[in-house]
C-alpha cells in the first residue's frame, strides 16, 4: 500500500494492445496524429494560427526540444508531431479554476493518473494549501508573495531554501531568478540539467574546455559520418530527422548505437512532403550497432582498437619521439592534430593495450563483424559528428561514456573543423540557456565577481545543492523551503517514495507552473501553486508587449514571442513572479530595481549583457531574425582548458555483476509523453498501445524463465541492502539484448536508488538500474 496522498501514479493496467514495431517514422500518420492532438484541445483556427508561428523567425520557439531551426524555414510547417502535442498541451482551451480545487481534495487528485492530471487544463489563479488542510484555496498574488517571503526570511540560513529550475524558463526569467536567489544568499540552484546533460557538460569541459557541443546545424550536411548514440530522435527530437535526411542525400553515412532498433533511426518519411508519404522514405542508418545497455565504452574501445589495427601500438605508446614519420595526409588517424592540439595520447594508448578485443566485443554485445564494418568507415572518413543524449548521460560512468567519444573524435582530428565535432542533443528547449544565465549550483568565481560588480552586492561563494543533494537535504531536514520555477520535481527525480518524504518534510513547497502535476500534490506543510504564462501567450508589461529569448542546443540565442491571449486574467509572466518574490523577500535590502526590470525586458537583457560573456549588443542582436551564435572555442579548435589542449582520457569499463535472475533496466520515453507530461497512452513506433506499465524484454529471457507475453509482473531493485518495488507491469517481448529491459519514465522512477548517481556529474542513474522480475 502506498501512503496517501499517492506519490506514484495508480498501479493499474489500462489494456495493452501490441503490433509489430513500425519500420518508418513520421509520414502521413504523424500529420494525422498532429491534427488529432490539436483538435482535442482547441478549435481548428486557433490551432492553425499557432502552428503557423511555431519555430518561424520572430515566432514562438517550440518548447518540445532544444533542436535548432534551419536557416531556411519551411513556409508550410517548421514543427513536428511532438511539437504540436506540446503546443496543444499548453494552449488547450480547458481550464482548472478554484471550483476544481474545491471539488477535489489533494488526496483525491493524487489517486488519478498523470495523464488525467495533465488533461484537466491550464492553471488559472494562485492557490494555497495551508497546513493541515485538505483542499487548495485561492489566494491573491500579494498575499502569496508575502506568505513565501515570510517563510524565507524566517529561515535560520538562506542555505535552508532550495530553488529548482526546469529548462523551459526563458533567459530573462532565469537571469532574474538566479539574481534573486543570490541576493537572498545561496547558490542552491539545482536544475533539470542535473538529471539530463550534466554528464556531457562535465565531460566536455574537462576534455575540450567548453561544456557545450561544437557543431552547428549546417555541419550535418558537411559531415562524412554522423554517429547517433543513446538517442531516440524520432520521438524526442523529430526535427533532427529532416536534418539527417538532408545529410543522407549528400552522402553522409549514419552509424546508430542503441540497444533498441528505434524506428526514427531506421527510415523517415518527411511529414511535410506528401510524395514521401506514399514512397519508401529515406533509409537513415547505414550501420546499426545494437549495443547492450551501458556497453558503449566497451564498444568504443573495440572500435578504436580496430581502427588502430594496422598501427604498431608499441610505437604509438612512445609516439612523441617518433611522431614525424606519421605525417601523411590520409592516415587513419590525424597525427598532426594529435601532436599539436592534444595531450594524454600516449597514456591513452598504454591503457588501451590492456584490453583484449574479444573481451570488449563480448561486453559490448555487438558482433565483431559489425564492429569491423563500423571501424572501416571510421578509418576511411575524417569528418565525424557524434550526437548523443540520455542513453549515455544517465549511467554511473556517464562522464566516461562521453569522454570515450571525445577520445574517438580526437583520434580522428574530428573537432574544430567544419562537418565534425560534438553534438550533445539537449532536452528542454532552454536548458542550455538557463545554465548560461547562471542557473548553476557551482558557479565560477569570475561569474560571481561580475554579477556582484554589476549589481553592487557580494554573492554567496559556497557551492549549493544539485538535484540529488537537494533531495537529501530536504529528507534530512537541513533544507526546509522548496521553490520550483517550472518542472515536476517529484516525478522527474529518482526514488519517488524517498523524494516524496523529502518534499513532505519541508515547511513550504512552491510551484510556478502552467499545468497541474503530481509535485503539487506531494507537498510541504504549506504549499502554493503560482500559475504563469506559457510561451504561446502574449506577455504585456508596462512598456507594452514583450518577447523573451532562448538558446538552442547548438548555442544560437533567439527570440520567442507568444500570440494568444493569456489563459486567465490572473496569470503573471515567470519574470514578474520572480520579481514579485524578490521584492517581497528582499525589500529594501535589494540593490535591484525589480519594477524597472519587468517594465521592459530590454532592461533585463541590458544587465545580462553586462554580466555574461558573449552577449554584447544583446538587445540589438536578439532582434535579428536568425538570432546570434555564442562564442565556442572547441568549434574553432581553441581549447579553453588549463593547458589550452584537448585531452585524451582513460575511462574504465563499467562493471555490472548481474545474477542470472537480474536485469539491467533503462527508463525511457514513449512517443506520447514529454518527460512527466503524458499526452497519451501509445508508443506508436514501438507498436505498444494503450499501456504505459510495460517491460520490454528479450524473448529468449522470457523463455528461460517460462514467462508468457503480457504476463503481469512486479519489479524489484535491490541496492545496498534496500529494496524498492514497482508493482503491476506487463511483459512485452521485444528486440532488445538479453538481460537488458526497458520501462517508461516516470512510472519506474521508484526503482532508481537516490544514492545511485553518476561519478563526477551526480546525474541519477536512470538508464542502468539492476532489477529482478517477479511473476505474479
Ligand X SMILES: Nc1nc2c(c(=O)[nH]1)N[C@H]1C(S)=C(S)[C@@H](COP(=O)(O)OP(=O)(O)OC[C@H]3O[C@@H](n4cnc5c(=O)[nH]c(N)nc54)[C@H](O)[C@@H]3O)O[C@H]1N2
How many other C-beta atoms can be found within 10 angstroms of the C-beta atom of residue 563? 15
Cα(93)–Cα(530) distance, rounded to whole angstroms? 19
Which one, of 383, 378, 377, 376, lies nearest residue 415 by Cα? Answer: 383
Among 59, 126, 185, 259, binds ligand X (CB under 6 A): 259
Half-sphere exposure of 432 (CA within 13 A, CB side): 28
- With contacts defined by CB under 6 A, how many residues of the chain interact with ligand X? 59
| Phi, psi at 497, each rounded to 5° | -70, -35
Told to check if 488 binds ligand X by CB under 6 A, we report: yes
Which of these ranges, 140-148, 177-185, 385-393, 609-617, lies near ligand X under the rule CB under 6 A?
A: 385-393
Among 513, 576, 649, 698, binds ligand X (CB under 6 A): 513
Site string for ligand X, 696-735 (x = CB under 6 A): ----------------------------------------
Told to check if 288 binds ligand X by CB under 6 A, we report: no
Told to check if 531 binds ligand X by CB under 6 A, we report: no
Which residue number, 296 or 434, has a Cβ lying nearer to Mo ion? 434
* Contact of 736 with 726, CB cutoff 8 Å: no
Among 342, 560, 667, 717, binds ligand X (CB under 6 A): 667
Told to check if 64 binds ligand X by CB under 6 A, we report: yes
Cα(338)–Cα(410) distance, rounded to whole angstroms? 7
Which of these ranges, 95-103, 126-134, 386-394, 700-708, lies near ligand X under the rule CB under 6 A?
A: 386-394
Report the partner that residue 605 touches, choosing among ligand X, Mo ion, none (CB closer than 5 to 8 A by kind).
none
Which one, of 499, 492, 520, 473, lies nearest residue 431 by Cα? Answer: 492
Cα(21)–Cα(114) distance, rounded to whole angstroms? 25
Which of these ranges, 288-296, 324-332, 551-559, 650-658, lies near ligand X under the rule CB under 6 A?
A: 288-296
* Contact of 159 with 561, CB cutoff 8 Å: no
Cα(519)–Cα(298) distance, rounded to whole angstroms? 39
- What are the angstrom distances between the C-alpha of 549 and each of 174, 557, 576, 606, 766? 10, 7, 15, 13, 31
Which residue number, 9 or 427, has a Cβ lying nearer to Mo ion? 427
- How big is the CA angle at 533 (ends 530 and 538), to the nearest 5 degrees? 155
List beta partners, residue 421.
Answer: 385
Told to check if 767 binds ligand X by CB under 6 A, we report: yes
List beta partners, residue 544.
Answer: 541
Site string for ligand X, 9-48 (x = CB under 6 A): ----------------------------------------
Could you tell me the three cell numbers for 449? 565577481
Residue nearest to Mo ion (CB): 427
Told to check if 170 binds ligand X by CB under 6 A, we report: no
CB of 195 to Mo ion, least distance (A): 7
Could you tell me the three cell numbers for 260? 533498441
Report the partner that residue 534 touches, choosing among ligand X, Mo ion, none (CB closer than 5 to 8 A by kind).
ligand X
CB of 196 to Mo ion, least distance (A): 3
Told to check if 766 binds ligand X by CB under 6 A, we report: yes
Which residue number, 349 or 752, has a Cβ lying nearer to ligand X? 752
Among 234, 427, 487, 627, binds Mo ion (CB under 5 A): 427
Which residue number, 498 or 639, has a Cβ lying nearer to ligand X? 498
Which of these ranges, 91-99, 174-182, 321-329, 480-488, lies near ligand X under the rule CB under 6 A?
A: 480-488
Report the partner that residue 174 touches, choosing among ligand X, Mo ion, none (CB closer than 5 to 8 A by kind).
none
Told to check if 230 binds Mo ion by CB under 5 A, we report: no
CB of 197 to ligand X, least distance (A): 7
- Residues 198-257 touching ligand X, rule: CB under 6 A, are 229-232, 235-237, 257
Which one, of 485, 617, 604, lies nearest residue 176 by Cα? Answer: 604
Which residue number, 131 or 658, has a Cβ lying nearer to ligand X? 658
Told to check if 69 binds ligand X by CB under 6 A, we report: no
Which residue number, 197 or 635, has a Cβ lying nearer to Mo ion? 197
Told to check if 416 binds ligand X by CB under 6 A, we report: no
**CA torsion sign, 667 to 668 to 670 to 673?**
positive
Cis peptide upstream of residue 5 (ω within 30 degrees of 0): yes
Which residue number, 333 or 529, has a Cβ lying nearer to ligand X? 529
* Contact of 227 with 384, CB cutoff 8 Å: yes
Told to check if 666 binds ligand X by CB under 6 A, we report: yes
Which of these ranges, 38-46, 498-506, 627-635, 670-678, lies near ligand X under the rule CB under 6 A?
A: 670-678
Cα(68)–Cα(56) distance, rounded to whole angstroms? 12
Cα(533)–Cα(561) distance, rounded to whole angstroms? 12
Among 390, 479, 575, 582, binds ligand X (CB under 6 A): 390
Cα(300)–Cα(450) distance, rounded to whole angstroms? 41
Look at strands 688-689 and 17-18 and give their pairing. antiparallel
Residue recorded with cell 556531457: 200
Among 51, 87, 144, 260, binds ligand X (CB under 6 A): 260
CB of 428 to Mo ion, least distance (A): 6
Site string for ligand X, 609-628 (x = CB under 6 A): --------------------
Told to check if 196 binds Mo ion by CB under 5 A, we report: yes
- Within 59-165, strands assigned E span 95-96, 122-123, 127-129, 137-138, 161-165
Among 126, 433, 438, 486, binds ligand X (CB under 6 A): 486
- What are the angstrom distances between the C-alpha of 121 and each of 41, 65, 90, 514, 648? 9, 21, 8, 9, 50
Among 676, 698, 711, 761, binds ligand X (CB under 6 A): 676
Cα(210)–Cα(199) distance, rounded to whole angstroms? 13
Which one, of 679, 693, 563, lies nearest residue 33 by Cα? Answer: 679
DSSP label at residue 344: -
DSSP label at residue 748: T
Among 253, 270, 379, 428, binds ligand X (CB under 6 A): 428
Report the partner that residue 253 touches, choosing among Mo ion, ligand X, none (CB closer than 5 to 8 A by kind).
none
Told to check if 282 binds ligand X by CB under 6 A, we report: no
* Contact of 372 with 255, CB cutoff 8 Å: no
Which residue number, 196 or 571, has a Cβ lying nearer to Mo ion? 196
Cα(722)–Cα(724) distance, rounded to whole angstroms? 7
Report the partner that residue 235 touches, choosing among Mo ion, ligand X, none (CB closer than 5 to 8 A by kind).
ligand X
Which one, of 273, 285, 282, 284, lies nearest residue 28 by Cα? Answer: 273
Cα(336)–Cα(329) distance, rounded to whole angstroms? 9
Which of these ranges, 189-197, 291-299, 451-459, 620-628, lies near Mo ion under the rule CB under 5 A?
A: 189-197
Which one, of 579, 474, 452, 467, lies nearest residue 182 by Cα? Answer: 452
Cα(259)–Cα(290) distance, rounded to whole angstroms? 5
CB of 48 to Mo ion, least distance (A): 30
| Phi, psi at 229, each rounded to 5° | -120, 125
* Contact of 391 with 767, CB cutoff 8 Å: yes
Which of these ranges, 198-206, 326-334, 479-487, 547-555, lies near ligand X under the rule CB under 6 A?
A: 479-487
In 574-586, which positions are buried (b, 16+ CB within 10 angstroms) versus exposed (e)? bbbbbbbbbbbbb
- What are the angstrom distances between the C-alpha of 374 and each of 154, 413, 670? 61, 17, 29
Which residue number, 448 or 577, has a Cβ lying nearer to ligand X? 577
CB of 591 to ligand X, least distance (A): 26
Contacting residues toward Mo ion, per CB under 5 A: 196, 427
Task: Name the site residues for ligand X (rule: CB under 6 A).
Answer: 64-65, 82, 166, 168, 192, 195-196, 229-232, 235-237, 257-260, 262, 291, 293-294, 296, 389-391, 394, 427-428, 485-489, 492, 512-515, 517, 532, 534-535, 574, 666-669, 673-677, 745, 749, 752, 766-767
Amino acid at each position: 500500500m502506498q501512503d496517501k496522498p499517492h506519490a506514484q501514479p495508480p498501479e493499474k493496467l489500462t489494456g495493452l494492445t501490441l503490433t509489430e514495431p513500425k519500420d518508418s517514422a513520421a509520414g502521413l500518420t504523424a500529420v494525422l496524429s498532429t491534427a488529432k492532438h490539436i483538435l482535442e484541445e482547441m478549435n481548428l483556427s486557433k490551432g492553425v494560427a499557432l502552428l503557423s508561428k511555431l519555430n518561424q523567425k520572430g515566432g514562438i520557439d517550440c518548447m518540445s526540444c532544444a533542436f535548432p531551426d534551419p536557416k531556411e524555414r519551411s513556409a508550410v510547417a517548421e514543427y513536428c508531431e511532438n511539437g504540436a502535442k506540446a503546443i496543444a498541451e499548453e494552449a488547450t482551451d480547458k481550464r482548472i479554476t478554484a471550483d476544481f480545487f474545491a471539488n477535489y481534495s489533494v488526496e483525491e487528485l493524487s489517486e488519478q493518473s498523470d495523464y488525467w492530471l495533465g488533461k484537466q487544463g491550464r492553471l488559472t489563479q494562485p492557490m494555497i494549501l495551508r497546513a493541515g488542510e485538505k483542499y487548495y484555496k485561492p489566494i491573491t498574488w500579494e498575499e502569496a508573495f508575502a506568505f513565501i517571503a515570510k517563510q524565507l526570511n524566517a529561515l535560520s540560513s538562506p542555505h535552508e531554501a532550495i530553488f529548482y529550475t526546469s529548462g523551459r524558463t526563458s533567459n530573462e526569467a532565469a537571469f532574474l531568478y538566479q539574481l534573486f536567489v543570490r541576493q537572498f544568499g545561496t547558490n542552491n540552484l539545482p536544475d533539470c540539467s542535473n538529471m539530463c546533460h550534466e554528464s556531457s557538460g562535465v565531460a566536455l569541459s574537462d576534455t575540450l574546455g567548453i561544456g557545450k557541443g561544437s557543431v552547428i546545424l549546417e555541419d550535418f550536411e558537411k559531415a562524412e559520418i554522423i554517429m547517433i548514440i543513446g538517442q531516440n530522435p524520432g520521438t524526442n527530437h523529430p526535427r533532427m530527422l529532416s536534418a539527417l535526411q538532408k545529410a543522407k542525400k549528400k552522402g553522409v553515412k549514419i552509424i546508430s548505437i542503441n540497444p533498441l532498433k528505434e524506428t526514427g533511426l531506421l527510415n523517415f518519411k518527411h511529414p511535410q512532403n506528401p510524395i514521401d508519404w506514399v514512397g519508401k522514405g529515406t533509409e537513415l542508418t547505414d550501420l546499426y550497432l545494437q549495443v547492450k545497455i551501458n556497453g558503449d565504452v566497451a564498444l568504443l574501445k573495440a572500435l578504436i582498437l580496430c581502427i588502430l589495427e594496422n598501427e604498431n601500438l608499441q610505437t604509438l605508446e612512445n609516439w612523441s619521439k617518433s611522431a614525424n614519420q606519421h605525417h601523411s595526409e590520409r592516415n587513419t588517424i590525424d597525427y598532426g592534430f594529435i601532436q599539436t592540439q592534444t595531450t594524454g595520447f600516449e597514456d591513452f594508448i598504454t591503457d588501451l593495450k590492456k584490453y583484449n578485443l574479444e573481451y570488449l566485443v563480448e561486453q559490448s554485445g555487438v558482433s565483431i563483424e559489425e564492429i569491423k564494418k563500423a571501424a572501416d568507415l571510421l578509418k576511411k572518413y575524417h569528418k565525424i559528428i557524434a550526437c548523443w543524449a540520455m542513453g549515455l548521460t544517465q549511467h554511473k560512468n556517464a562522464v566516461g561514456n562521453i569522454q570515450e567519444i571525445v577520445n574517438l573524435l580526437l583520434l580522428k582530428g574530428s573537432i574544430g573543423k567544419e562537418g565534425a565535432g560534438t553534438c550533445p542533443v539537449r532536452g528542454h528547449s532552454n536548458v542550455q540557456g538557463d545554465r548560461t544565465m547562471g542557473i548553476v549550483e557551482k558557479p565560477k568565481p569570475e561569474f560571481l565577481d561580475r554579477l556582484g560588480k554589476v549589481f553592487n552586492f557580494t554573492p554567496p561563494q559556497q557551492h549549493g545543492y544539485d538535484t540529488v543533494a537537494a533531495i537529501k537535504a530536504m529528507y534530512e531536514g537541513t533544507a526546509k523551503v522548496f521553490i520550483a520555477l517550472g518542472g515536476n520535481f517529484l516525478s522527474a527525480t529518482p526514488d519517488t517514495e524517498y523524494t516524496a518524504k523529502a518534499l513532505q518534510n519541508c515547511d513550504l513547497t512552491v510551484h510556478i507552473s502552467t499545468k497541474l502535476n503530481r509535485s503539487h500534490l506531494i507537498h510541504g506543510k504549506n504549499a502554493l501553486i503560482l500559475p504563469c504564462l506559457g510561451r504561446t501567450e502574449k506577455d504585456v508589461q508596462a512598456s507594452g508587449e514583450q518577447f523573451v529569448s532562448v538558446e538552442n542546443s547548438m548555442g544560437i540565442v533567439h527570440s520567442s514571442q507568444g500570440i494568444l491571449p493569456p489563459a486567465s486574467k490572473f496569470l503573471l509572466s515567470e519574470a514578474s513572479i520572480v520579481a514579485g518574490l524578490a521584492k517581497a523577500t528582499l525589500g529594501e535590502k535589494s540593490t535591484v530595481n525589480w519594477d524597472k526590470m519587468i517594465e521592459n525586458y530590454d532592461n533585463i537583457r541590458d544587465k545580462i549583457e553586462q554580466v555574461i560573456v558573449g552577449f554584447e549588443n544583446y538587445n540589438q542582436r536578439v532582434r535579428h531574425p536568425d538570432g546570434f551564435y555564442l562564442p565556442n572555442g572547441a568549434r574553432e579548435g581553441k581549447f579553453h582548458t588549463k593547458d589550452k589542449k584537448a585531452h585524451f582520457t582513460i575511462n574504465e569499463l563499467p562493471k555490472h555483476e548481474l545474477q542470472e535472475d537480474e536485469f539491467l533496466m533503462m527508463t525511457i520515453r514513449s512517443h506520447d509523453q514529454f518527460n512527466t507530461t503524458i499526452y497519451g497512452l501509445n508508443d506508436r513506433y514501438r507498436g505498444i498501445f494503450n499501456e504505459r506499465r510495460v517491460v520490454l524484454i528479450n524473448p529468449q529471457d522470457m523463455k528461460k524463465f517460462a514467462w508468457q507475453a503480457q504476463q503481469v509482473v512486479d519489479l524489484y531493485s535491490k541496492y545496498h541492502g534496500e529494496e524498492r518495488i514497482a508493482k503491476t507491469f506487463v511483459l512485452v517481448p521485444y528486440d532488445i539484448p538479453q538481460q537488458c529491459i526497458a520501462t517508461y519514465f516516470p512510472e519506474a522512477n521508484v526503482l532508481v536508488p537516490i544514492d545511485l548517481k553518476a561519478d563526477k556529474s551526480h546525474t541519477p542513474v536512470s538508464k542502468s538500474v539492476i532489477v529482478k522480475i517477479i511473476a505474479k
